[in-house]
Amino acid sequence: MCMENGAAVCVFVCEAESTGEDKHLEIAKRVIKRLKTLKHPYILTYIDSFEKALAFLNNEGGLTHHTVNSISVFVTQAGDWKLSGVECCSSVATPPTPGSRPVPALQVYSPPEASTNSTPSNKWSSDMWGLGCLVWETFNTTTLTDVMDLRDTTKIPRGILDTYQQLVSTSSRCRPNPKDVLATLTKKGSFFNNDLILTLTFLEELHIKDDRESSRFLSGLVKKLDSFPDYIVKYRILPTLITQHTVYNAGCRILSALFKSILHLAAKLNYNNLNVEVLNHFARLQSLDD
């Protein structure tokens, strides 16, 4: 625990070195779960926590995925990325032998050290190579067919280029820990530190924010909705707002954001609610907005 800007900050760092379940990690998870739901002047306020897929597999799980690429990633309607393709997953202590990938087409994703059967320098180096391949495929909107294509960085955004080059380094020692990748790209002014991601993160934690923070956030949200992708608004933001309103009793301050979203709610409303109640609200809002 430390003091930052006059506030107490408690940091839990848990990293399992074995393949078994780490009891300290489970304790930390329970603490976070409780802190998210408790709000009291004399109980430590929950601010944030991260547990991403590769960081969890490599660090806490003691596992290597081995086939991180566009084929093993699925994207939900809400825009969440889910990691699959765990058929080649193995303990960091027993990496797979060269050519062990089940589909020949996946051999292109093998890191350079796999061809020489050398031991990776870090337990995450193989998956970080795969992450680099995924980054290349994402911005080039095509699957990787030749490992030499990774040298073409013309479509890689400048804000992520340095990290990308570390990920696809021929030296496994130079590839960063996934936790460090996350920390680098989410710090202020970095690639993932943008309106959309900051909005989604805050929205998930809206129920633990105080009234002043919530009101300020929701007032700004209405102006941002048109700049966000429709599928994010419909399948991520709207359901979260409804949950906040119905489960956490967020109150009237959330209604303005819901009415920017009325297009997605219309199909669920009966005739009277849609053509009388909603229109009355719109008329009132228009009369107050020059």
Q: Count how many domains the chain has.
A: 3
pLDDT at 170: 92
Domain boundary among 161, 186, 211: 186
Domain boundary among 186, 205, 233: 186
- Count other C-beta atoms under 10 Å from residue 92's C-beta: 22
Same domain, 213 and 251: yes
Question: Rounded to whole angstroms, what are the CA distances from 114 to 83, 93, 137, 166, 285?
Answer: 22, 15, 21, 18, 63
pLDDT at 14: 44
Same domain, 174 and 240: no
55 falls within a domain: no
For residue 141, give every residue at least 6 positions away whose Cβ sits within 8 Å of its Cβ, in sequence order, or none: none
pLDDT at 97: 54
For the CA atoms of the chain, what is the radius of gyration?
A: 23
249 falls within a domain: yes
Same domain, 18 and 106: no
CATH number, domain at 85?
1.10.510.10
Same domain, 71 and 119: yes
User: Residue 49 is encoded by which pair of tokens?
Assistant: 């926590």
pLDDT at 261: 64
Same domain, 179 and 236: no
For residue 209, give every residue at least 6 positions away whose Cβ sits within 8 Å of its Cβ, in sequence order, or none: 202, 217
For residue 116, give every residue at least 6 positions away whose Cβ sits within 8 Å of its Cβ, in sequence order, or none: none
pLDDT at 89: 75
**Helix intervals (H) in the chain:** 23-37, 53-55, 112-115, 125-140, 158-167, 178-186, 195-204, 211-224, 230-232, 238-246, 255-260, 262-265, 271-272, 278-287
49 falls within a domain: no
Question: Rounded to whole angstroms, what are the CA distances from 157 to 72, 164, 202, 214?
Answer: 23, 10, 25, 33
Which domain covers residue 9, as residue numbers?
A: 2-37
| Mean per-residue pLDDT pooled into runs of 10, the chain (290 residues) | 42 41 64 72 63 74 80 85 78 59 76 78 88 95 94 95 96 92 91 90 81 81 84 85 68 61 70 76 69
pLDDT at 19: 38
Residue of 117, 87, 83 whose CA lies nearest to 102: 87
51 falls within a domain: no
Same domain, 66 and 117: yes
56 falls within a domain: no
Identify the three-state secondary structure at position 2: strand
Q: What is the greatest pairwise CA distance in the chain?
A: 72
